[in-house]
Amino acid sequence: MFDIIVWGGAALSVAGLVGLVWCILQVMKARKANLTDDELRAAVQGVLPWNLASLFLSVLGLMMVILGISLG
């Protein structure tokens, strides 16, 4: 039972990490596009909710891993 929690948490952490890498790539792409300051700010603000969601997913997954290890 606790193995499922640990592996599920690991999967959530990996999904969050993939989301964070995607956010980094999107901002790097926007910076290389030579946008104006306002356009760059708008692009970063568009990525920000995805960044926070990915971070939350990763933290939630790590909490599940710790919970599964401590209870198992």
Tens digit of each residue's pLDDT, the chain (72 residues): 889 999 999 999 999 999 999 999 999 999 999 899 999 999 999 999 999 999 999 999 999 999 999 998
What is the pTM assigned to this prediction? 0.87
Neighbouring residues of 69: CB distance < 8 A, sequence distance ≥ 6: 2, 6
